[in-house]
Amino acid sequence: MLANYAFVGVFFVAAVIFPLIPIVAAYFLGPKRPTPTKLDTYECGLEAVGDIRVQFKVQYYLYALAFVIFDIEVVFLYPWAVAYGELGLFALIAMAVFLFSLVEALVYAWKKGALEWV
């Protein structure tokens, strides 16, 4: 089984090395003559104003939480789907009950207006 993932590892190593090459090369090859204008933060050619860290709206967090919850749902769905061929009708009912509960939560959040963007 491990062999199946060997190429994932190779890919991962390549993904790390590939961007490192130009950065390292630029470090050694590029001339460095800094001026204050060159060191300025680039923001669409405008003068940068304010702090980069601003407080985000809590709305984002609700989306993140909903994402986590449905992500976990996928983790439950995945083995069920793999085994579905040999399980039959009862498995379908069991999963329907499982999903019903989560869909209800989604309906709740929707009706409550928590999914509306402001």
Report the interface residues with other proteins, using CB under 8 A. Answer: 1-2, 5, 9, 49-50, 53-62, 64-69, 71-76, 78-84, 86-88, 90-91, 94-95, 97-99, 101-102, 104-109, 111-114, 118
Dig out the tokens for 113 from the structure. Answer: 């207006």
In whole angstroms, how close is the CB of 36 to other proteins at the nearest point?
22
In whole angstroms, how close is the CB of 30 to other proteins at the nearest point?
26
In whole angstroms, how close is the CB of 62 to other proteins at the nearest point?
5
Nearer to other proteins, 22 or 76 (CB): 76
Nearer to other proteins, 8 or 29 (CB): 8
How far is it, in rounded angstroms, from Cα 66 to Cα 92? Answer: 24
What are the angstrom distances between the C-alpha of 94 and each of 66, 83, 86, 97?
Answer: 22, 13, 14, 5
CB burial readout 71-89, b (16+ within 10 A) else e: eeeeeeeeeeeeeeeeeee
Nearer to other proteins, 25 or 61 (CB): 61
Query: Could you give phi then psi for residue 60, rounded to 5 degrees?
Result: -60, -40
Query: Could you give phi then psi for residue 43, rounded to 5 degrees?
Result: -140, 85
Nearer to other proteins, 25 or 105 (CB): 105
